[in-house]
Amino acid sequence: MSKAPLAPYPALRPRRLRQADWIRRLVRETTLQPSDLIWSLVVHDGAQARIPVASMPDVDRLSVAEAAKAAVQARALGIPAIAVFPYIDGEKKDARGSMASDPDGLIARAVKAMKNAAPEVGIMCDVALDPFTDHGHDGLLENGRILNDPTIERLVEQGLMQARAGADILAPSDMMDGRVGALRAALEGAGLQDVMIMAYAAKYASAFYGPYREAIGSAKALHGDKRSYQMDPANTDEALREVALDIAEGADMVMVKPGMPYLDIVRRVVEAFSMPTFAYQVSGEYAMLMAAGRNGWLDEERAILEALTAFKRAGCAGVITYFAPRAAKLLGA
């Protein structure tokens, strides 16, 4: 902010700069582009090309073949990266989340198919056990408690598998203490030093993840809640400590999640660390906008672009969003 004294009205009439589109464009402080978007999508293991997700209109679970087409579409739209999440059949889940590190599993096949179809598109994988555990938690559960360090061993197995399958970015979303450092060391040890880490650094225990848990099929499985590892929505200094730790442990980029209700956290993180900072516009944010739009309660397209622009204005380098392909098209890609 300039410290120059403001001329008083009528010398300064701020509306002068708003009188026509050309001048509004000229003085605009923030721009939203397809290159700001990471496309969040869900894959499933069946033959059916697309399976709708009831609570997320226009979001489908994609078959592996369809995910490859999505990667080609992302490239055409100028979307730099895709974040991929798996829907796992109930009978393939167990307490340890064994399938999470399966080198022939759904995620490995989806990553390979997408990298084959469009190698120019970055692929990001979630490192967490929840899609794969029969209790729906991100970590290992013993007598109702989530075990931190044994979970990290599983996350490292999962992350190495993802990196070997061709993932460009590992995104640990589990909120265990110390997992970023363990993943970074394991990648270095395996000769995978170029694989990036985007840490879900400040991830809150949020009601806004509801539709995602339906999309990946963990809603029914989840026992209890995630408050012993995800952050208390009332906290902000704690977010800075979490981000500081993840950066010190080797995160290349950090993330705040959910998005729109947490833009104050984004701003603080950007100001404190000057690291590439992303926000996740989560499933519940998507569902809210779509529900209101579908009811005619707000202008859906304008609301989508306004919400995404707000992330940029808050200081985000980019946004992980289910709206990515639609927003890219709205932006004229």
CA distance 200 to 125: 12
Q: Which residues bind ligand PBG (CB under 6 A)?
A: 126, 128, 130, 138, 173-174, 209, 212-213, 226, 282-283
| Rounded least distance, CB 20 to ligand PBG, Å | 39
- The one catalytic residue among 93, 115, 226, 257: 257
Q: How far is the CB of 62 from ligand PBG (least distance, A)?
A: 15
| Cα separation, 262 vs 45, whole angstroms | 34
Determine how many CB atoms are found less than 10 A away from the CB of residue 3: 4
Least spacing, CB of residue 209 vs ligand PBG, in Å: 4
Residue from 115, 203, 226, 312 carrying the catalytic annotation: 203
Judged by CB, which is closer to ligand PBG: 209, or 311?
A: 209
Six-digit token pair at 312? 């940029």
203 is a catalytic site residue: yes
Is 112 an annotated catalytic residue?
no
Residue of minimal CB distance from ligand PBG?
A: 212
Nearer to ligand PBG by Cβ, of 130 and 246: the residue is 130
Question: Between residues 117 and 172, which has the closer beta carbon with respect to ligand PBG?
Answer: 172
C-beta neighbour count of 11 within 10 angstroms: 7
Q: Which CB atom, from 117 or from 154, has the smaller least distance to ligand PBG?
A: 154
Cβ count within 10 A of residue 306: 13
Cβ neighbours for 8, distance < 8 A, ≥ 6 positions apart: none
CB of 226 to ligand PBG, least distance (A): 6
Q: Which is nearer to ligand PBG, 36 or 126 (CB)?
A: 126
Closest distance of CB 283 from ligand PBG, Å: 3
Task: Give catalytic residues, as residue numbers.
Answer: 203, 257
